Amino acid sequence: MKLRLAQPHWPEVLTDWCVIRALAAAGWPEPLGSSGGAQAAFVSEVSSYLRLRAIDLREAEAETRIIAAIEGVYRRTGGAAYLAAKDTLEATRGGYSIAFVRAADRTASLAVELRHCEHRLDEFRRPVMAEARRAARIAAENYWNAVAACRVPEGFFANVPARGAIAHMRARFDLWWMLFLRSLRSILRETNPSYCRLLQALPTLRKESTRPGQKFVLGALVRDWREANAERFGLLKDIHFPVLEQRSFVKFDTVNAWFDHHAPGYKRDEGVREAAVRALYDGLGRVLSEPHEVRWDN
């Protein structure tokens, strides 16, 4: 693999690649002409939404389910006493934070009380910690397996901004949108964008593997990292990372070549991006409000 000076931003690369593939399969609506800039702006807008919904929000949802599963075990085994200990900890933590900010005289005593409350809660958790971790793993596996079965479910694009290009492309070219969406679903059925998290971590892991005194080779460090982050990122199976990295750099080159062909300088020049977005919204007969970008409502 040839050396590259800059580390790609893998979440963007992988979602760009998926949208570009879907657009190639669906084609571009003829009424919008053949503007390469408009197509580049559309790919970026869909890609940005895809990163939010298919990566960021799903990781947040996975964490919520993991925490709920762990807490469920603690509450079931600890009962009312556990809930009381937890409420006491939260109240003490709140009081300590206020006292700390105000530099109150009670700060030191509250710090001692806070440590006592934490120790008390640990007494409930420690005996069933292994059971709680198993419950967390099961919850994560159930969630990510459901995601893998359908990465773009019905309603996936329901909450896009009403004034954004996605909403207007979907409304104006409904038959084309169905074809594009079917293509995107097909591509994402075979592509896990969460691999971007491992790709982002690889440079650090590679550097760690060459540190003097390091006992583990890169492969072992990657396995440990994946297992430690498997539940949050949905990376539940072993990954042959050299092949993943090699194929991902091919996608990186493909994405760059596509943007350079359709809108030269798009990824590097703010002026080119603004002109491309303007071309897309002008083609849709829409006025783009300042700033010239879509901000998602989380």
Summarised one tens digit per residue, pLDDT across range 144-166 is 999 999 999 999 999 999 989 99
Residue for token digits 């760009």? 16
Q: How many residues are listed for the chain in this entry?
A: 298
- Using 50, 70 and 90 to split pLDDT, how confident is the model at 4? low
Alpha helices in the chain (DSSP H): 10-26, 36-51, 57-102, 107-125, 129-149, 165-172, 174-189, 195-209, 218-233, 241-262, 270-283
Q: Is 141 helix (H, G, I), strand (E, B) or coil?
A: helix
Rounded CA gap, 131 and 5, in Å? 46
**How do the domains of the chain map onto residue ranges?**
10-283
pLDDT of res. 287:
57
State the distance between the two ends of the chain, measured CA to CA, in whole angstroms. 38
Q: pLDDT tens digits for 64-88?
A: 999 999 999 999 999 999 999 999 9
Region 242-266 average pLDDT: 97
For residue 291, whether the previous peptide bond is cis, meaning omega lies within 30 degrees of 0, is yes
Rounded CA gap, 285 and 268, in Å? 27
Rounded CA gap, 226 and 241, in Å? 10
Average per-residue pLDDT for the chain: 92
Region 166-195 average pLDDT: 95
pLDDT of res. 54:
96
Q: pLDDT tens digits for 231-245?
A: 999 999 999 999 999
- Using 50, 70 and 90 to split pLDDT, how confident is the model at 219? very high
Q: Is 30 helix (H, G, I), strand (E, B) or coil?
A: helix
